[in-house]
Amino acid sequence: MTKTAPLKFLKEVRQEVSKVTWPTRKETILTTAMVFVMVFILSLFFLGVDQVLSFGVRWILGL
DSSP codes of every residue in 1-63: -----HHHHHHHHHHHHHH--PPPHHHHHHHHHHHHHHHHHHHHHHHHHHHHHHHHHHHHHT-
Q: What is the pLDDT of residues 11-43, one digit of tens each?
A: 999 999 999 999 999 999 999 999 999 999 999
- Rounded to two decimals, the pTM is 0.65
Q: Are 31 and 23 within 8 A, CB to CB? A: yes
The pLDDT value recorded for residue 4 is 77
